[in-house]
Structure 1
Amino acid sequence: MSARAWRDWLPWGALLLVAAVLGAFNGLGRVESAALDGLAALHQRAPDPRIVIVAIDDQSLQWLGRWPWRRDVHAELLERLRAARPAAIGIDLILADPDEQYPQDDLRLAAAIRRAGNVVLPLYVEGGEHQPLRPVLPLPLFADSAWAVGHIDAELDPDGVVRSVFLREGQPPHWWDHFALALYKATGRELPDTRLPGLRRPDTPCCAGGARWARDYWTQLAFVGEADSYPRISYADVLRGRVPASALAGRIVLVGATAPGLGDSYSTPLASQNALMPGVEVIANVLDGLLDGIELRNALPWENALFTVMPSLLALWLLRRSRRVAPLVVLLLAGTLTVAWGALHWGGIRFAPLAALGCLALVYPLWSWQRLRAAMRYLADEVDRLERQPGMLPAPTPATAGGDGLQRHIAASSQALEALRHLHRLVHDTIDGLADPVCVVDEHGVILLANAAAGAFFGRDGGADGLVAQRAWPLLAEQLAAPDGALLPGLPEIEHDHGGELRAGRAGGCDILLKCVPRHGAGQRPAGWILVLIDLTTVQQAQRQRDEALDFLSHDMRSPQASILTLIDLHQPQDEHERALLQRIATQARRTLNLADDFIRLARARSEQLHRETIDLNDIAIEAVDQLWDHAQARGCVIEADVPDTPSLCLGDPLVLARAVANLLDNALKYGPDQGEVRCALSAVEGAWRIAVRDQGAGIAPQARDAMLQRFQRSAGHPRDDAGGFGLGLAFVQTVAQRHGGRLAMSGTPHGFEVAILLPMR
């Protein structure tokens, strides 16, 4: 494997290693535990109806007085409970010290415990830090009378939340079952050590100081809900005989404190800080899990490591086979969370989901970063290759040479891409600007690029774009023929590395010259041809007609009309009838001059090269309105320009565009009503500038609009048919729009007619 491949795989190896380490060490600690608590809250089960709590609550304190109570009260409670025949009784009260004031109460309580025969008493462990651990047992009087003694220790996680207990603790060889496990056995149920749930940890000491205290059968608690989930019966109600025996018969009764501040209380995954769970209810949850056979444990380090690594490994495998990166990662995130939830509720295994989700979430940015690195590396290699070719790229600027590696790559790539964009634009504009049909084909004869003239020549739908991906040789064979009318025999001969020329004819008597110029790729390898179709007949005829027409208009028509106008100006007769006649002659002479001017202007717009420059169309619109202002005033019309506040930049010939807009305004004044309104509005529409001239005239019928774009066409039956003109204005405007890469649009409005020029933005 190459050094580059090692570098590419190194981040993925580091990610998988981090995932494995996090998984082996139980994920993200407290945050991970909070996430597991959230998963546990999604599936709560109903509490076991066989468990009931006799609560030392506020009601009992009000009736019996301040705590602690005399032990003969507890003896009385046990007698009443025994009479109801419960399956077992758990007294979660510390009875480690004798009652010095009422010693007979201890005897009575011990007797009540003995008569019940199924009572379990608690022990707890004291010590820690540097003090030796030792169990605190009930008085021997009570312990000997009870069915069993069980420990009530709960395991606190680092965040202070109880999530687990050890079902067995002690100083080997002396072991004590958990209080809930002892109650379970007191009901007569058998649960051998081989079937005890939880992880075996018999050799894990609780504290290194003093006597060794060992714990075993570490089990996670499956809480049924928040505090007060189990049915509670007030201690006082039992003493007062308000509880029917049926409410206690056959059930496991837990007696313990639930009043705030009276006994131990804990924060659990399903209990908030404002509703801590009493210790007696924690015991009830442990007992519930034993009765329902629920086994819940933390995943082993190797299981958790595998669970954390697998989603990232699967994501890496899928990403190399699919392009849908983001959806795959989202699906894997949801799948990982679902698997963690399913393992918790159906498999009884608590996996650490956040570590797996966190590492999986890093896959997408890491993948994107690697793709970006690969792209930058490729671009850097290509830029280096282009820089080694003389004339392709300019020398690096000082800004390119400085900065860090990424900035240098970006600057060099930007410079190369800018040069390639200019080159592409140059090639495209050069080919599209040619009057002759031009096609660029590859080595298989497939057309890669064509200009508008080629689209018109072959008559394909979509113009030049309709030729792309077509095979050039069959198209040429369809259009061209030998001078004798036969199919071209020379096409196969010119399809070689040296190119060539071929003279051919076309229907209609056209004389076509086909030029085939080879082009080469890297290493002078043949890459295709450039095909140029030159219509010699059209060129010759167009040149001759243009010269004749312009000569005729410029001299033979203009000179006599100018002379007539000069003579009329010099001769001012006194007779009114004669003056009217001369005025009519002058009007017709001016119309003839206007006709000549319009025709020359149209011809030049179609044939002469435009002087393109960056212009502000705001100025063009305002200038055109200013030119027609006097004319509008004479007609009593209002003429206004509506332009944006910011510059409207466009690439075009300012003189030609200004004349085109002026033509539209002149038409609007001619064919609109007197005292009307003419508005020239400039706006941006879908990547183009729109110069719209709107009047209040009758407009042009939809079926006649296409004909009006032809030369010498006027609207028949128009109310202002006497307005003058020769039908060249709209043809000129359309030619100007098309020469600038735009188009002309006409539409009727509720109050008039609108003609618009659409030009591409700069």
Structure 2
Amino acid sequence: MARHADFWWHLEQRIRVEWWAVVASLALFTLLISYFSTGLGLIRLDQTFYDATLATSTTRAASPDIAIIAIDDSSLEALGHWPWRRTVHARLLDRLHEAKAIGLDIVFGDADRVFPNDDAQLAQALSRQGRVVLPLVLGAGTGQRPLAPLAEAANRLGYINADLDSDGTVRSVTLQRAPASGAQAQHFVVSMLEAAAADTALARLKTRPLATPLLIPYAGPPGHFTMYPYWAVLDGRVPAARFKDKYVLIGAWGTGLGDKFSTPAARMGNAMSGVEVLANELQSALENQWISTPGRWQTALLACLPVLLACMALRRLSPRRSFLIIAAVLLLIFVASWLLMRYAQIWMPVTASLIGVALAYPVWSWRSQEAALQHIDHELRKLNSERGAIDLALVPGERTRADGSLSARITQLHGAIAQLRHAQSKREATLRFLSHDMRSPQNSILALTQMQSHPGHALPQPELLDRVNTHARKTLGLVDGFVQLARAEAIEITRQPLDLVDLVTQACDEFWALGQQHHMAILFTDHPEAAWVNGESTLLARAVCNLLDNAIKYSPDHTEISCHVYRRDQAWAILILDQGRGISLQQQTGLFEPFTRLNEDAPHNPSGAGLGLALVKTVVVRHGGSISVRSNEPRGTAFEICLPAVEM
């Protein structure tokens, strides 16, 4: 018990150390890949998860305060090919005098040389409306700006540069920039809020870091906002009252016209027009709703939480349950990310956590199994050093691989368990032998000597000596049988070629005289010239002699004992057949167990220790062979030994 407790205590200590090492390693690994995700390329996976999460969690309705006047295919068909005369835009602006602010998403960077007076008419319309914002494009040098008269007539200017990620998708917007010229520029959306004098929205917006990208919570896919065809508004089909106190965005939406962008909300590969991107940015600014994300260090630390959760579960669960827990934690990461996006508008990158949790199961399985197997190896080495050469006796004929694979180490463990079980059975057999078989004749001798001390019960000296001699011989027989069995189990077998025909012939000659005393004939005829096997001649001869001795003991006088040697497939067989009283099927089940004696209480039953057949089986099995018995009760028993044949 002390050794058992010590074994498991040391193993538990080793597993605990391995667990802390796995936790620390995975946490550090997850922390680093999260912090350096951009440089490692993991940002692309995070972007993919972000797009899927945003697209499935968005349920916001388009703001009723925002309307889009689209330069669509029907407008191009009604008003002619693009570009239109600038007086057309001036007429449209005159119809939108009740709009809160107008964003004209068309860059008028060059003068109209065909209709030079149109620029002045457009400038006058801009002045009359008074709340129009014109776009500019920041870039190398001066970028692209509206004509000076138009820029002066507009209420505000704002840049419309899209923040494209590495995969060409618009996920964020920067509302303030410092271009190369040094003058700070503001985004088109901020200019529209200023033009509409939306002080509350501006005040909320300026609490955010406008110079850093803000993630856009897209309200929906393309076509989500209220949209009116340009020609219908210009023609009066759409009443001007529809645009009262609204933010109006005018921009291209037609096929092959204007900018198209990939966005998280654009499903099935449909791109979103630039004017719709502006509408989503404007709604986010009006509602002060942006998707926030923790800083790099915060993100890295939070990414470790699922890994720690998975490791805590792995410490106490079985491999099957651990696998299910890992799958549940992976699913939980996606669910938590979706819920944070849906209800808190917080994006938590998930790739680092997914990698860390996915690695937890194989890494922990590797380290825990390796720790357990190494500890078992250590205990096996201690066991082998303590037992010395006893391995051969405990697991005769068993071969184990010596490599470090899992199967080989488990086989070695199985062999050690078999050794322990065999050692336990040997211990029990030895105790039984010492406590019963050995003590019985000694007690009988003691009883005889005590009887002799009482004259009234004393035996005649010849009878006394005969009885003492009988019990002493029985004791010596028991000791001899036990020693022979132990030697057969423990001796190292030196395998040499030997002829079974010669071996059986010598055994028959050895028992010829004993057979003659009982008027028995021992016949050995009809055998091959030679039957070669590899083995230890002394042990095999002892096994054959034990069978012949039993055949003589358990057969009546005036009978025959026949011996045969013949080929059976890839083996040579020795058959010893007697005409004795036979063995029942029930008795045959434990026939080769040590200390098994049949009909021990029957009259005239031969004496013995019950170790002869156990020795025979031990010798045969250790030579890689097999032994079987066939009996026709009440008369006749045949023992057959099969040993692997060798060619000479």
TM-score range, shorter chain: 0.5 to 0.7
Aligned twin of 2:494: none
Aligned twin of 2:284: 289
Contact kept? 1:91, 1:122, Cα under 8 Å: yes
**1:114 pairs with 2:127:** yes
**1:183 pairs with 2:178:** no
Equivalent residue runs for 1:235-384 within 5 Å? 235-272=230-267, 274-320=269-315, 324-384=321-381
- Equivalent of residue 25 in structure 2, options 10, 14, 25: 14
Alignment RMSD: 3.9
Cα distance, 1:412–1:157 mapped onto 2, change above 3 Å: closer
**1:47 pairs with 2:62:** yes
Cα distance, 1:256–1:653 mapped onto 2, change above 3 Å: farther
Q: Deviations over 1:117-175 (max 9, x none)?
A: 11111000233xxxxx4342211211111111111011010111110111112347622
Contact kept? 1:52, 1:248, Cα under 8 Å: yes
Shift of 1:103: 1.4
Contact kept? 2:126, 2:132, Cα under 8 Å: yes
Shift of 1:89: 0.9
Aligned twin of 2:84: 69
Aligned twin of 1:30: 44
Contact kept? 1:267, 1:273, Cα under 8 Å: no
Cα distance, 1:271–1:651 mapped onto 2, change above 3 Å: farther
Contact kept? 1:24, 1:305, Cα under 8 Å: yes
Q: Which runs of 5+ in 2 are unaligned?
A: 1-12, 436-554, 557-580, 594-625, 636-648
Contact kept? 2:14, 2:371, Cα under 8 Å: no
Cα distance, 1:118–1:193 mapped onto 2, change above 3 Å: closer
Contact kept? 1:86, 1:250, Cα under 8 Å: yes
Letter in 2 for 1:19: T
Aligned twin of 2:605: none
Take 1:89 and 1:378, find their aligned partners in 2: how far apart are those partners? 77
Q: Deviations over 1:336-362 (max 9, x none)?
A: 333323333343332211211211121
Cα distance, 1:606–1:335 mapped onto 2, change above 3 Å: closer
Letter in 2 for 1:136: Q
Equivalent residue runs for 1:166-565 within 5 Å? 166-171=174-179, 174-190=183-199, 195-196=204-205, 200=209, 216-272=211-267, 274-320=269-315, 324-388=321-385, 389-394=387-392, 403=403, 406-407=404-405, 411=408, 413-418=410-415, 420-421=417-418, 424=421
SS at match of 1:120: strand
Take 2:357 and 2:261, find their aligned partners in 1: how far apart are those partners? 35
Contact kept? 1:386, 1:393, Cα under 8 Å: no
Contact kept? 1:299, 1:351, Cα under 8 Å: yes
Cα distance, 1:609–1:98 mapped onto 2, change above 3 Å: closer
Take 2:338 and 2:300, find their aligned partners in 1: how far apart are those partners? 17
Cα distance, 1:272–1:346 mapped onto 2, change above 3 Å: closer
TM-score by length of 2: 0.60
Shift of 1:426: 8.7
**Which structure carries more strand by proportion?**
1
Shift of 1:392: 3.8
Letter in 2 for 1:278: S
Take 1:3 and 1:371, find their aligned partners in 2: how far apart are those partners? 9
Shift of 1:327: 3.9
Contact kept? 1:71, 1:106, Cα under 8 Å: yes
Take 1:379 and 1:425, find their aligned partners in 2: how far apart are those partners? 19
Take 1:435 and 1:219, find their aligned partners in 2: how far apart are those partners? 86
Letter in 2 for 1:105: D
Take 1:654 and 1:197, find their aligned partners in 2: how far apart are those partners? 101
Take 2:381 and 2:303, find their aligned partners in 1: how far apart are those partners? 42
Shift of 1:262: 1.1
Contact kept? 1:166, 1:178, Cα under 8 Å: yes
Q: Deviations over 1:449-469 (max 9, x none)?
A: xxxxxxxxxxxxxxxxxxxxx
Aligned twin of 1:79: 94
Take 2:260 and 2:588, find their aligned partners in 1: how far apart are those partners? 97
Indicate the larger mover: 155-164 or 39-48: 39-48
Aligned twin of 2:597: none
Cα distance, 1:656–1:428 mapped onto 2, change above 3 Å: farther
Contact kept? 2:18, 2:368, Cα under 8 Å: no
Aligned twin of 1:143: 151
Contact kept? 1:120, 1:182, Cα under 8 Å: yes
Cα distance, 1:412–1:124 mapped onto 2, change above 3 Å: closer
Take 2:259 and 2:322, find their aligned partners in 1: how far apart are those partners? 52
Q: Which runs of 5+ in 1 are unaligned?
A: 128-132, 202-215, 439-553, 556-599, 614-649, 660-762
Contact kept? 1:55, 1:234, Cα under 8 Å: yes
Take 1:189 and 1:274, find their aligned partners in 2: how far apart are those partners? 35
TM-score by length of 1: 0.52
Cα distance, 1:416–1:352 mapped onto 2, change above 3 Å: closer
State, as a whole percentage, how many aligned pairs show the same letter. 32
Take 2:76 and 2:22, find their aligned partners in 1: how far apart are those partners? 65
SS at match of 1:96: coil
Contact kept? 1:199, 1:297, Cα under 8 Å: no
Take 1:338 and 1:148, find their aligned partners in 2: how far apart are those partners? 43
Q: Deviations over 1:40-77 (max 9, x none)?
A: 12221111121111110111111111111110111111
Shift of 1:79: 1.2
SS at match of 2:142: strand
Take 1:363 and 1:656, find their aligned partners in 2: how far apart are those partners? 65
Shift of 1:427: 6.3
**Which structure carries more helix by proportion?**
2
**1:59 pairs with 2:74:** yes
Cα distance, 1:229–1:606 mapped onto 2, change above 3 Å: closer
Contact kept? 1:50, 1:252, Cα under 8 Å: yes
SS at match of 1:90: strand
Take 2:257 and 2:174, find their aligned partners in 1: how far apart are those partners? 25
SS at match of 2:338: helix
Aligned twin of 2:532: none
Letter in 2 for 1:200: P
Cα distance, 1:276–1:62 mapped onto 2, change above 3 Å: same
Take 2:627 and 2:127, find their aligned partners in 1: how far apart are those partners? 108
Letter in 1 for 2:288: G
SS at match of 1:36: helix
